[in-house]
Amino acid sequence: MISAVGCGLVSGIMLAFSLSVMRALRRLPPNQGIAAMQAMNKAILNPVFSLVFVGTLASCVVLAGTALFSDVSGAGWRFAGALMYIAGAFLVTVIVNVPMNNRLAAVDASSPEGAVVWQRYLARWTAWNHLRAVAAALAATMLVLVASY
């Protein structure tokens, strides 16, 4: 259940970004949107978010590993839920969203290059963030279902 709650929390954070924060940033002039996102990308790197995001990863790794050696009913769902979080939320973040954040952090918010990077960032980052939100929500759902076995 701890993993399910963590997955749900991560999904909620990502869903809130997709449905409100990114829409609001899109309405701002590029230099303001870039500066705001740069500030948020720094602010999200805090102990509480890290505990939820990485702690959920750790618990999902344990669940996946133990599911492989379990013959109890629901082990397959436990493995699938854990893997959904690991691949769909954590790895997508590390492989896709963080490099995009780093690229955005390197641009001058008021430069023409910044405006070009921003337009591409808005579309790609948000699409991948939708995927992360859905993956974490599906992981939470699968883990809740298996807890009822």
**What pLDDT, in 10s, does the model give residues 39-67?**
999 999 999 999 999 999 999 999 999 99
Please name the residue that has the structure tokens 């974490």: 136
In this prediction, residue 149 carries a pLDDT of 67
In this prediction, residue 71 carries a pLDDT of 81
Q: pLDDT tens, position by position, for the chain (149 residues)?
A: 899 999 999 999 999 999 999 999 999 999 999 999 999 999 999 999 999 999 999 999 999 999 988 888 888 999 999 999 999 999 999 999 999 999 999 999 999 999 999 999 999 999 999 999 999 999 999 999 988 76
The closest of 89, 101, 121 to 13, measured between CA atoms, is: 89
Domain that holds residue 92: 2-147
In this prediction, residue 144 carries a pLDDT of 94
Cβ atoms 11, 143 nearer than 8 A: no
In this prediction, residue 148 carries a pLDDT of 73
Tell me the two tokens of residue 40: 């948020």
In this prediction, residue 82 carries a pLDDT of 97
In this prediction, residue 124 carries a pLDDT of 97
Q: How many CA atoms lie within 13 Å of 144's alpha carbon, on the beta-carbon side?
A: 11
* Total number of domains in the chain: 1
Cβ atoms 46, 54 nearer than 8 A: no
Hey, is 17 helix, strand or coil? helix
Q: Is 112 left (phi over 0), alpha (psi -120 to 50) or beta?
A: alpha
